[in-house]
Structure 1
Amino acid sequence: MNKQEFIILFEKNLSGAATPEEIEQLDKYKDDFDINDFSNSIKISEQAKIKKRIFKRISSKINQRSSRIVFKQYWWLYAAASILLFCGLSFLFQDRYFKYSENKPKQFSSNQNLIMPGSNNATLILSDGREVNLATALVGKIIDDHGLSIHKVNDGQLKYEVSQNTKLASVVYNKIIIPKGGQYSVSLPDGTDVWLNSASSLEYPTSFSGNERRVELSGEGYFEVKKNSHKPFFVHSGDFTVKVLGTHFNIAAYQDEFVKKITLLEGSVLVQNEKESTVISPGQQALTRNDTGYITTRAVNVEDAVDWKNGYFSFRKENIQSAMRKIARWYDIEVVYQGRISQKLLGGTVQRTQKIEEILSYFETIGIAKFKIEGRRVFVKTD
């Protein structure tokens, strides 16, 4: 089998279109498969085309796969990884797309179903102090007050509407609070859409009057700002402010994180604090450190920054403490460390719908730490 025949069969296998005979042919070929000879034979001019074709197949296949983490690694994924190594995507295969077999996750406690993944859950605080539990509120109109309507569009989405020609008596503020183990999205009166991660909150006016739009974020949120060149949009979070006209960006500004991150997907944003300001472009991330307050920028894979919105945990060169902070927010748990904290770095992506035992099993399998669950406390032993 030459390299072109292998690539064709490999793509068919990923897409699920391979016949039993073709799968058997791939299995037989593995015995004589030489990764180095194969990858070295690929011309530079062919690498981009191969990368694009295989990546497309993999992306399609991953969307169809079950949510379980499996721990059986197939030889042909290693083959693809060797090819993609030359195309700069070895990490993608090594950690992001490996699935592992039907082995049951390790049992860390006797109460296996006590800790469940997060869900659509939030509390809406109205201007008069009333609170609305959005998890239990019925779909439909929640508030109808002098031209202002607030709708629960579906499970997990809130929408504000202001009738045309309506002039509200004064500017009043609402606040949506997302607890640990929750997530929610809100469509603001100007048409801006905001997705909020666990342990986050957003305060905003029920109408944007004047010549600007201002909101205040705590935690993490993804914004798709409705463009209005005459009325800039400001997001204030902690010690910094983001100014935009119309764009897509993510802000991760949890109080327990040493670095705050602003990641731009589309458009242009100005990030500023008391010390300095900087403009970032799509594919860039601005970082502000708690100790210095200075703003630095870097190029990033923007998908990593918004994986939470799409239902994933994305870990890229993170230590166990950073990873467990994400997990603690989503599963609403307390993390307790025992012994010396490991500085080993991990990488990869897992679905947020997974049971926590499955994710912890994955961490143990790659040698990051050992775990024990007692109630809603997860003990991490890294020695």
Structure 2
Amino acid sequence: MPEDQPFDTAYYEALANKWLEGTITPRERELLDQWYQQGQDEQVDIPASFVAGEAAHDERIRAGIRKKIAAMKVTRKARFPRRWQAAAAILILVSAGAYLLFVNPSPSLPIVKNDTLSISPGSSKAVLTLGNGFTITLDSTGRQVIQQGHTRVQQTGGRLTYAATGTETAVSLNTLHTPRGGQFQLTLPDGTRAWLNAASSITFPTAFTGKNRSVTVTGEVYFEVAQNAAQPFFVHAGAVDITVLGTRFNVMAYTEETAIRATLLQGSIRVGKLDNTLLLKPGEQAGLPENSERFTVSHPNLEQVIAWKDGIFRFKDENIVNIMQQLARWYDIEPVFKGNMAGKDFSGTISRGSAIQEVLHMLALTEDIHFKIEGRKVIVSAP
């Protein structure tokens, strides 16, 4: 885009959305990159150079984008639509994430930050509890090998891999638990892969030696199950039992949520509670409301369901209470609500690597919601 051409927010937001959906053409991606590179002191190849979790590099890119927007003398519109897909916000995608950056934000945004406490986004961290009760703290920098009988456990950064090295006779149960503000990846002894969201856990054997493969989860876990028709895979999530042959699906079983939900992306799963069972097709979500014996079936946006696994918050007409629950688990904050939150719904996409202040600024620009940060409490007020 030539330097004297007016800044077209809608055009570049559309390009960014196409990049996120995987439908952007090589020429469109070139235009998006060229726009970003214009006027930059440091030329950055966005898809190759950005490394998730490197906060300094992350901030340098965002600072460069802000500098460029300011240099183009773009002004924020005085009025905002009801949601934060406003023309004042431009979606700039950096590698696997997306950032909502704001043009000339109002200096009087109703957010108060306690400078004595830094609230950082979550990262790869977990605690592994072995069968003998011994615990091992894991983080994104760890490199280690743990031997349990004939099972070799290797940690490589934010991933833990189990592999059988012989005929296993003594099998023990291990539990991998992520705290609030943590996530982790796990490869089970059969090759099944699991992604744990914040405040989640999975309990599993060091080897699958019986007729079945069985694990127990809390919180939210995404599975890619290794196929083995002779040894069915079972997931126990609260009151729900899930039977699997080979598939990709997401389980959400946080105790603070109103329902346990299993969402099928590929393959086939059967969900059940006592004698009530339901066979899901790809694209379907089974929900078991609290204190209910019957499942509901819906067809959610699958990208929205598993966005957390890909390092993204993706909201679609989501109420602020539900949004703050997600932010609370990832940023380890405590939301406090004041006023009526009914109808305070938002849509949009932002990287889970963004600072909490960025997310709150984004929401506050609608002028529907005010925020105040006090320590780890975030007070959410409706005018």
Fold equivalence (TM over 0.5): yes
Q: Secondary structure at the match of 1:134?
A: strand
Deviation of 1:344 (Å): 2.0
2:152 pairs, out of 149, 152, 157, with 149
Contact 2:124-2:140 within 8 A present in 1 as well: no
Query: Cα–Cα, structure 1 residues 136 and 287, in superposed 2: closer, same or farther, change >3 Å?
Result: closer
| Residue 272 of structure 1: aligned partner | 272
Give the TM-score of the pair, scaled to structure 1.
0.75
Maintained 8 Å contact 1:108/1:357: no
Give the aligned partner of residue 349 of structure 1.
349
Q: Aligned-pair distance for 1:57?
A: 4.2
Query: How far did 1:288 drift?
Result: 1.3
Match of 1:120 in 2: 124
Shift of 1:377: 0.7
Q: Shift of residue 366 of structure 1? A: 1.9
TM-score by length of 2: 0.75
More helix per residue: 1
Q: Structure 2: which 5+ residue stretches go unaligned?
A: 9-17, 34-45, 51-60, 75-84, 93-99
> In the aligned structure 1, how far is the partner of 2:281 from the partner of 2:90?
26
Gaps of 5+ in 1: 1-17, 31-49, 76-90
The aligned length equals 325
Match of 2:260 in 1: 260
Does 2:226 correspond to 1:226?
A: yes
Structure 2 CA distance for aligned equivalents of residues 319 and 248 of structure 1: 27
Equivalent residue number for residue 239 of structure 2: 239
SS at match of 1:309: helix
Distance in 1 between residues matched to 2:281 and 2:191, nearest whole Å: 23
**Alpha-carbon distance change, 326 to 136 in structure 1, aligned in 2, over 3 angstroms:** closer
Q: Which amino acid aligns with 2:143?
A: V
> Given that residues 96 and 350 in structure 1 are in contact (C-alpha distance below 8 angstroms), is that contact kept between their aligned partners in structure 2?
no
2:179 corresponding residue in structure 1: 179
Render the CA deviation track for 1:31-61: whole Å, top value 9, x for unaligned.
xxxxxxxxxxxxxxxxxxx99x994249955
Farther-moved stretch of structure 1 (269-278 vs 182-191): 269-278
Instruction: Give the counterpart letter for 1:114 in structure 2.
Output: S
> Hey, what's the Cα distance between the residues in 2 that align with 1:67 and 1:202?
36
**1:275 and 1:294 in contact (8 A); partners too:** no
Q: What is the match of residue 375 of structure 1? A: 375
Task: Tell me the distance in 1 between the aligned counterparts of 2:129 and 2:272.
Answer: 29
Asked whether the equivalents of residues 311 and 351 of structure 1 are also in contact (C-alpha less than 8 Å), the reply is yes
2:96 counterpart residue number: none
Question: Shift of the alpha carbon at 1:259?
Answer: 2.1
CA–CA separation in structure 1 for the residues paired with 2:254 and 2:176: 16
Equivalents in 1 of 2:160, 2:348: separation in Å? 32
The equivalent residue for 1:163 is 165
Following superposition, the deviation at residue 103 of structure 1 comes to: 4.2
Structure 1 residues 127 and 368: alpha-carbon distance in aligned structure 2, compared to 1, 3 A threshold:
farther
Distance 2:144 2:286 in 1: 39
CA distance in 2, matches of 1:329, 1:114: 16
Q: Which residue matches 1:56?
A: 24
**Which residue identity is paired with 2:169?**
L
Q: Say whether the 8 Å CA contact 1:342–1:382 is kept in structure 2.
A: no
Q: In structure 2, the residue corresponding to 1:308 is in which secondary structure?
A: helix
Are 2:77 and 1:109 aligned?
Answer: no
Q: Secondary structure at the match of 2:255?
A: coil
Deviation at 1:136, TM superposition (A): 7.9
Give the 3 Å change call, closer, same or farther, for CA 378–188 of structure 1 in structure 2: same
Shift of 1:280: 1.3
CA distance in structure 2 between the partners assigned to 1:309 and 1:226 by the alignment:
18
Taking structure 1 as reference, are residues 55 and 113 closer, same or farther at Cα in structure 2, changes over 3 Å only? farther
* Separation of aligned partners in 2, 1:114 and 1:288: 37
Once the two structures are superposed, residues 161-198 of structure 1 have per-residue CA deviations (whole angstroms, 9 ceiling, x without a partner) of: 1114x2222x3100011000000011110110100000
Within 2, Cα distance between the matches of 1:377 and 1:237?
30
C-alpha contact 2:128 2:136 (8 A) present in aligned 1: yes
* Partner of residue 129 from structure 1, selected from 125, 130, 133: 133
Question: Does the CA contact (< 8 Å) of 2:370 and 2:380 recur in 1?
Answer: yes
The DSSP-based 3-state class of the residue aligned with 2:207 is coil
Contact residue 126 and residue 138 of structure 2 kept, 8 A: yes
Residue 24 of structure 2 aligns with an amino acid whose one-letter code is: K
Alignment pair present for 1:306 and 2:314: no
- Conservation of the 8 A alpha-carbon contact between 1:275 and 1:293: no
When residues 135 and 252 of structure 1 are mapped into structure 2, their CA distance, relative to the original with a 3 A threshold, is same
Corresponding letter in the other structure for 2:164: V
Q: In 2, Cα distance between the equivalents of 1:96 and 1:328? A: 25
Q: Find the aligned partners of 2:306 and 2:266 in 1 and give their Cα distance.
A: 13
Q: Is structure 2 residue 283 aligned with structure 1 residue 283?
A: yes
Deviation of 1:328 after TM superposition, in Å, equals 0.2
State the structure with bigger RCO (CA 8 A, min sep 6), 1 or 2: 2
Bigger radius of gyration among the two: 1
Q: CA deviation at 1:97?
A: 4.5
**Aligned twin of 1:317:** 317
Deviation at 1:146, TM superposition (A): 2.9
**Could you tell me the percent identity over the aligned residues?**
35
Separation in 2 of the partners of 1:95 and 1:276?
47
TM-aligned CA deviation for residue 333 of structure 1: 0.7
